[in-house]
Structures are given as C-alpha cells and as structure tokens.
Amino acid sequence: MDHFLYGTACAEADPGQFPHVTEWLATIRDLGVKALVVLGPDPFGDTDSREVFCACPDTYAKAAQALCQSDAYGKAWRESKSPLAAWLCWNDQDSLSDWRTNWNQHGLNSMVRIELPLPMGRSFECFVFCNTAIPGRSEAADICYAMMSAWPMLKDEITSTKLGISARERESLVAAADGLTARETSLRMRCTERTVTHHWSSVMRKMQTKNKVAAVQRASWLGLI
C-alpha cells in the first residue's frame, strides 16, 4: 500500500543528458537512492497524457516507460485530492504484475513519489527509486526534502533537454512572458532584434505553436518558464 507524506546512481555513472541529475543522485546515494524518473505532461496532448521527461540513469528507461504507460498515479491521483508526496515498498515475495515488476528486476523495491503541480491541471511526477525498503515516514521525508531542494535546478535541465530549448531561447521566452517587445528583449539579452526574433521563431516551431503568446502559454504549463 502507499504511505503518505503530508506537507544514486553511483558517482561513477555516465552523466549522459542529465549531468545535474546524475550529480544529485550521487549526493544522496547514502539514502539508498539509485534512480530518478520524472513524468511530465505531453507537450501536445491533453491533461490525461504524460511522457517520460527523465530516466536517470538511462539503464532504467524501459522501466520508466512501463510506469508512464500504466494507470498508476497521474491524473486520477490528482483529481482524488490525494497527497502530493507518498512512498511505496514491495518485495520479491509480492505477486507483481504491474509496472513494479520492471523495477524489481533491477533490484529496486521502494520509491518516493513527489507531485509538483503545473498550470492547467497538469503536473510533474518525480519518482525516486531505492534499493532498500524505506523504513518509515522520516526516511521518506528525507528523500522528499532532498528532491524538493534540488528541483529548481533539476527542472531547468530536464525540461530544456526534453523540449530541446536552449538557454537563450528560454531567456527570450521569459522576456516575452514579461511583455517585452523584440527591441526591449534585445536590450535585456544584449543581442540584436533579429536574434530575438530568431529565438522566438525557433521556440514556436519546437512548441508547435503559431504565435509567441501560445508559445509562452505552452512553456508555462510545461514548467519551462
């Protein structure tokens, strides 16, 4: 059963696409943490749809996909007003026929889930997997605190990598969200208006939107800005 909270990979692992995530996992390996999976809203789907934004290390990509495609947590969990943080343990003796089977095969038998709400009824779901059973609320809270403390930095890396948005493109989006014109944005970013326009055009293409306002809106509910 799920337990509620109210309110690493090894240091030698290849950082791959997510160097900050890999570094963070290494700092909390003494808690038994081995993997992080972040599920987020499908950029082009409805509120029921979710995708794998991060599976680190990527050894667990298949297990992360199985979790994503299952009916565990997600929109139904949010709409039931269930807690934002919970933890779950299982063992080899459990009769597993769901997404946990994949994690069990990797020797991971517990996880802490933290939900981070986004606009428009969407959210990020962070699953921190461990290779030892989580004894109780205090230990789960330690993992939850570590995740929440690092989330601002991890989110920027995860969302930018998933969506293919560069740091400068993201900066131009923030300026657009602030209501700045191309000229005002160029002064803030210390570049030409043409460069700003290029960034906005690139973002609209990647976000599959027809105008800057729609791109800002989509970036907002994806947690990019």
Query: pLDDT tens for residues 165-197?
Result: 999 999 999 999 999 999 999 999 999 999 999
Q: Do 29 and 131 lie in a common domain?
A: yes
162, part of any domain: no
Using CA atoms, how far residue 78 sits from 37, 83, 191, 206, in Å, is: 18, 8, 42, 28
User: Could you tell me how far CA 117 lies from the centroid of its own chain?
Assistant: 11
Q: Range of 176's domain?
A: 167-221
The residues, any chain, with a CB within 8 Å of residue 179's CB and separated by 6 or more, are none
- Above 60 in pLDDT, residue 32? yes
Q: Do 173 and 64 lie in a common domain?
A: no
Query: pLDDT tens for residues 93-147?
Result: 565 668 999 999 999 999 999 999 998 888 999 999 999 999 999 999 999 999 9
pLDDT given at position 79: 86
Q: Do 33 and 108 lie in a common domain?
A: yes
- Above 50 in pLDDT, residue 69? yes
Backbone angles phi, psi at 5, to 5 degrees: -120, 125
Structure tokens at 88: 């779950």
Distance (Å, rounded) from C-alpha 1 to C-alpha 39? 21
Mean pLDDT of the chain: 88
Confidence of residue 223 (pLDDT cuts 50, 70, 90): confident
- Number of domains observed in the structure of the chain: 2
Q: Do 145 and 174 lie in a common domain?
A: no
Mean pLDDT score, 148-154: 95
| The amino acid at 83 | P
Confidence of residue 50 (pLDDT cuts 50, 70, 90): very high
Distance (Å, rounded) from C-alpha 8 to C-alpha 19? 12
Q: Do 134 and 180 lie in a common domain?
A: no
Q: Do 213 and 146 lie in a common domain?
A: no
pTM to 2 decimals? 0.85
**Which domain CATH number covers 105?**
3.30.450
| Contact assessment for residue 53 and residue 60, using Cβ atoms and an 8 Å cutoff | no
